[in-house]
Structure 1
């Protein structure tokens, strides 16, 4: 057995190990003054970086990209320098001694920066209304001359001069605000040390409200006119802070907490210390609040104030220490606020997200040094997989030990950096448990355990035989050590068995008085793994009926979906209708019915639309109806789409399913729906992709209209993706080529999403444009898409025939399901 698994399809031949940056000095303070010109979209700045020397040196290098460097000073004296457009090398005049603290000041100008700081609206030459930063991973260097790498942390002072009409907020406390001629100067100071990627500000046309939790100011900043949406998005902020403080035993680490909603944000949210910047798409009205919440985003970014800001990963290979913890704590708040089922369902969705990336893209170790760009590591391995691994650690060492470990870790490394080994040593110190095996299995190796679970009853011997087998793929370890719980449920009692699985295959024999009603493995989802039930329908239905825990029931429903049958549809239907059942479980049943197919499933789903009230379950039902090609489905969903009483998201999902149903009136219905108002234009955006699925010439004509720069960036993104469903005509190629040069990274990234749907070789020249993109994540994605197109070209005819065969088999399967369904209905 090999104990080093680097995974599959992640590392390109030119990738090399990336080690923490090693320089003979340490950044200790950043003091910058900038003057923002909203009209010309430029910044004039003076940045002073103070360094403590680790060795005797005569030069210092600073990160500064695409800047006009005017003057450089060392401790106030003019200095010589060399600048290549990326790195500013400053002469100290003479060799300076170790432990000396020196200040390097740079006067500079940034004109229309491509990253790091964004003037919004982004794709425009008109005066900006907002200016805001996004420094992660290493983009602060595009607007601020500094040392731009996470392994050093510094205190920060930002003095920002803007027109009188503009509001400014930045890291730390506001020390000064004063008028100077026709401008206003704002001075913000954060004494606590942070990495430079967290240095942040937002300036522009904003409104704000201020609250307090104890002595901590809470500031909510939104675009003007959105003030009424603040409570719906942010009312739980004080409770989340209190929960995280109680759980970690560490007080909120900064002098204030601001949440700033900006237009066209290039991410969902960014946890800049004391000033989180968020997409304004999280602001929503009362109708959206029916089944949309800002809490996941708010809690995730808040968790980062401890995990990522207070303690920062030493380099990007240790990113999971930031993102894994934030993702888990987001889920822990969900449990605190909404209950255990919400938490477990969130864990299940985390696993689904990771498995999707693992199956369709690549696998890699969570702690991975071999990469091309830091951006590549912001993936499902660093977020949900890492969160599930941390949750597994929590369950192995216990809640009390886990919380103690977190407390020691945060206090020991506060205002500093840490790596995986630092964290491991803290946990071992607190618990007295040696955990090398755990970190080797789950952090330093790729892949994951994949278990097959089955059991059978021996009536003569009254013996239950349980078999667990490890069936993971070659990119994973051959065997894992997994502490597992087995729950045996009988009519009058429950038996819990704990085992330590370390073999490839393990069989247990349990003597019982009678056949159990159900047997569940790891019922409370304590251990990270992929689990498959190798059980018959009756055993699966037993789990559905008698297991109280959510996780085994959902796995059972998913397996039932593979086996099909009208009888199982009828059995599951009562749970779908039961408003007392958890909405996530009911949604899984709706999805299962779509996979089962047949007339009974279709009839059941259509009937359920008249009975089910929960909006999230209704979303699952209308989505599932998209698996059936039927005029009746199209007509039923049209009433849903047109109904203003339905939630925005139910109506949006209905639009997609109308297109998939091949309803004859689909185009007319969808075209009208483009005018429906909704939160974040979710209906319009979903309708555009639905038109792409529809695939007609008139649908294409409508989609192209919405690629215009007059539309919001989010509508443009949806229209671009919809183009991927069409053969690339000259007009489509021209549009995609133009959008591949759009200044907004979301637009450029979506060009690749469209190409990924299509895989036509004609699109390769556009892929080549994006292989040279300024964003590392886009470069990575372009290389992946190029690889997929190349494979498609190599097996083009074979792929075409395979696709046709798959479609033929699906149609046969559908017809067979309908025939079986009719026979079962007749009782034959």
Structure 2
């Protein structure tokens, strides 16, 4: 599962709040009394009540010791009947139910060599559950009665970490695995998707159809899924296996563009791991109002709103890391599953690592290097991550484990291990880990044993340090050259609190036009590294492979950074040099680096160089202008071109109006947004007229710039469009546009308009109250109240007061 999106800070904080799941967990290996064997479900739906009517046949066997009892997780249900199946008969069983679990007294004592099947007749009522977050229901009815215009009617499930028991009784733990048969009865106009193979479809007299999906190989309950709706299916294939993409009809024409790399990624991962894709099919489905980004249900991955997209939005994506992330889970998480949430690294760190190796294979080392760096920064940004071990038995709820340690740090730890062992030994170890633990559960220790067997190395130090210990090295590097002894010295200090790290390092010495690599170890709080060189090195490049999970202060003269930019091969080599130059732009050496980076072969560094330009320096501004104009006109990468347009806009030169007008013809929303912004710096009235031409086709930054211009103009005639666009937007859009939406209400002196907007904010605050959005909306309402008090708009002030009362009263 992945929950990281490129977000503004506000929305990022909101998503983190949303991802905190419910009941407290036991942060240890709970005792296993019974094992799941097979799960058969007959499911139908009540779209009006948002109920799930289920009949379940669940086959169980005692794990080891004899037992006469069975506990099943079952959240928010009515349990109508519980029986044990005896041949063709059903023998009623006594049970108790507390709205979270069914405790069943069996008809006799069963032993480990016996299996038994329990029948349960139940109704799941996800929308009637109290005291849970929105993302804990397990099953979701989207626009069930079709009352919301332009929103599809869908049903879909989300089981991680322990929410599948919100739609069927089960032992809802990751260390359980079961085969399955799911029979879904749905309106015949709808398409269904579930785990495994669609083996039959039966038309019923009442206008419904029953689809039967069978999963012949065992997988964990949290990986069970169902989806129902009006989806168009694009059929692809890999080595004769079915690969399918399910999309809303509106986005179906772009199915191949969105998901089309899936077969190539399946081939790459199969060859790399030496284990072929282990399931009968791979399906990807994009659903509406999804509560996360994506989820790796076995054979049927669910994606959220960002994957309901058009070719214009795709034009603004340099690459997609989520699709390979979820696909890699089909091996790491589905085929071999973490034994418990404390070992979630065995699922999510691997999926994050899968992103890295896919990007490296598909797009090259610069793209992978940028992704490595950005992910490391995401981990480092949250200071609380420093105190968390990768394997962590001290969590309170499972959601605590879904963090930057498990994802970004863990993926980069695996990348360090790959670098240390070498590709051959590392992938041999992964192959051994997968084949040894196929269709089973595993912990970090089993990965260590596989890697040790493959490589012949003792890796206790690595796992103790990186898996079971917390934190990361905080390094400070200083350099000295002794011309008499011809010795280059590097002083390495570990300045972090906590453990001192043992670090194998590659150090490249560049001297006399040659590069010599040295393999060294850092073991102490302060270490001194010495290297002989006949002449003073042009560059001593510590961590030359740029794989360390660390914070680093590397104290180098600008001349050395310049040499690093032009001679060291990796993305991060050039990035670090550009960072140093950015801080010293009056220096001629720094300018040389920046202007070289404006034409760097990698667009990510071109964009960084563009955004780094200090236009307050008149000489720099004049010197950069021709290059910026050329990039704004000719740059092929939309992100870099957009950056060039935005910086060029700051020149406020009318002679660039034709250039901005030409950029409006781009298929990229981001480029069009930058072009309108550029026009606005020269002629605001023209920018407003231009913005209105895009009212019927906008997304992302283009929507934001339209809202910004309208809010600044504060013309009540523009309110109907803002209102329609805002209320029709996705949750992410509503959050990102909240400030401009509020500003428009503040500025427009029209009580009817203001009160209409207040009603929207009130509804949002109540709807998302349990998910952490409400405090931000309250702040917006306070801003509106303050503005309306100054305008003597007492009716709108009263509306804000009443809205806040309603928000505070809701749920009490």
- Counterpart CA distance in 2 for 1:624 and 1:756 is 34
Preserved CA contact (<8 Å) 1:721 1:751 = no
In structure 2, the CA distance between the partners of 1:318 and 1:621, relative to structure 1 (3 Å rule), is same
Residue 505 (structure 1) aligned with residue 526 (structure 2)? yes
Q: Of 117, 132, 138, which aligns to 2:139?
A: 117
Q: Say whether 1:154 aligns with 2:175.
A: no
Distance in 2 between the 1:447 and 1:691 partners? 45
Q: How many residues align?
A: 755
**2:707, 2:386 → 1: CA distance?**
26
Q: Does 1:324 align with 2:338?
A: no
The answer to whether the 8 A contact 1:222-1:280 is kept is no
Backbone CA RMSD of aligned residues: 4.2
In the other structure, the counterpart of 1:611 is 630
CA displacement, residues 360-392 of structure 1 (integer Å, 9 cap, x when unaligned): x76422222222332232222111111100011
Aligned pair 1:79/2:89, yes or no? no
In structure 2, how many angstroms separate the alpha carbons of the residues matched to 1:460 and 1:726? Answer: 70
Aligned pair in 2 of structure 1 residues 708, 339: CA closer, same or farther (>3 Å)? closer
Residue number in structure 2 paired with 1:589: 609
Report the CA distance between 1:136 and its aligned residue: 1.2
Establish whether residue 394 from structure 1 lines up as the match of residue 418 from structure 2.
Answer: yes
Please tell me whether residue 89 in structure 1 is matched to residue 64 in structure 2.
no
Does 2:76 match 1:66? yes
- SS class of match (1:347): helix
For the structure 1 residues 78 and 505, does the alpha-carbon distance in structure 2 shift closer, same or farther, using more than 3 Å as the test? Answer: same
Matched position secondary structure for 2:182: strand
Secondary structure, aligned partner of 1:610: helix
Residues 261-300 of structure 1: pairs in structure 2 closer than 5 A: 261-292=286-317, 295-300=320-325
What corresponds to 2:251 in structure 1?
226
User: How far 1:353 moved relative to its partner?
Assistant: 1.7
Q: In 2, Cα distance between the equivalents of 1:376 and 1:297?
A: 21
1:523 aligns with 2:544: yes
TM-score (norm. length: structure 2): 0.82
Alignment of 1:656-735 (within 5 A): 669=687, 673=691, 676=694, 681-687=699-705, 705=723, 709-720=727-738
> Which residue in the other structure is 2:468 paired with?
444
Structure 1 residue 690: deviation in Å? 5.3
* Structure 1 residue 32, shift from structure 2 partner: 0.6
Give the 5 Å matches for 1:720-799: 720=738, 736=761, 738-742=763-767, 748-751=771-774
Counterparts of 2:347 and 2:416, CA distance in 1: 17
1:239 is paired with a residue whose SS is helix
Q: 1:620 to 1:381 in 2, by over 3 A?
A: farther
Residue in 2 that maps onto 1:41: 50
In structure 2, the CA distance between the partners of 1:724 and 1:382, relative to structure 1 (3 Å rule), is farther
CA distance in 1, matches of 2:689, 2:389: 46
Does the 8 Å contact 2:660/2:678 carry over to 1? Answer: no
* Among 313, 329, 341, the residue aligned to 1:304: 329
Query: What's the CA shift string for 1:313-366, capped at 9, x where partnerless?
Result: 11111111111111111221111111222222221122122122338x764222
Residue number in structure 2 paired with 1:466: 490
Secondary structure at the aligned position of 2:179 is classed as strand
Q: How does 1:527-538 map to 2 (within 5 A)?
A: 527-538=548-559
Query: 2:442 matched to 1:418?
Result: yes
Deviation at 1:481, TM superposition (A): 0.7
- Which residue number in structure 1 is paired with residue 666 of structure 2? 646
Q: 1:576 to 1:645 in 2, by over 3 A?
A: farther
Name the SS of the counterpart of 1:587 in structure 2.
Answer: helix
Pick aligned residue for 2:241 from 216, 230, 251: 216
The CA deviation at 1:197 is 0.9
Q: Paired residue for 1:598?
A: 617
CA 598–47 in structure 1, closer or farther in 2 if over 3 Å, else same: farther
Query: In structure 2, do the counterparts of structure 1 residues 728 and 506 end up closer, same or farther at CA, with 3 Å as the change threshold?
Result: farther
Q: Structure 2 CA distance, aligned partners of 1:539 and 1:427?
A: 38
Partner of 1:554: 575
Distance 1:452 1:123 in 2: 61
Structure 2 residue ranges without an equivalent (≥5): 1-18, 128-133, 748-753, 786-799
Distance 1:112 1:65, change over 3 A: closer
Question: What are the Cα deviations for residues 421-467 of structure 1, in whole angstroms up to 9, with x where unaligned?
Answer: 22122222222222121112212222211222232434455442322
C-alpha distance in 2 between matches for 1:605 and 1:248: 47
In structure 2, the CA distance between the partners of 1:79 and 1:89, relative to structure 1 (3 Å rule), is: same
CA distance in 2, matches of 1:551, 1:757: 40
For 1:327, what is the secondary structure of its paired residue?
helix
After superposition, the Cα gap between the structure-2 partners of 1:677 and 1:471, relative to the gap in structure 1 and judged at 3 Å, is farther
- SS of the residue corresponding to residue 740 of structure 1 reads helix
Segments of structure 1 that go 5 or more residues without pairing to the other structure are 1-9, 775-828
Distance 1:136 1:574 in 2: 48
Question: Hey, what's the Cα distance between the residues in 2 that align with 1:434 and 1:415?
Answer: 27
Separation of aligned partners in 2, 1:460 and 1:522? 27
- Give the 3-state SS of the residue equivalent to 1:371 in structure 2: coil
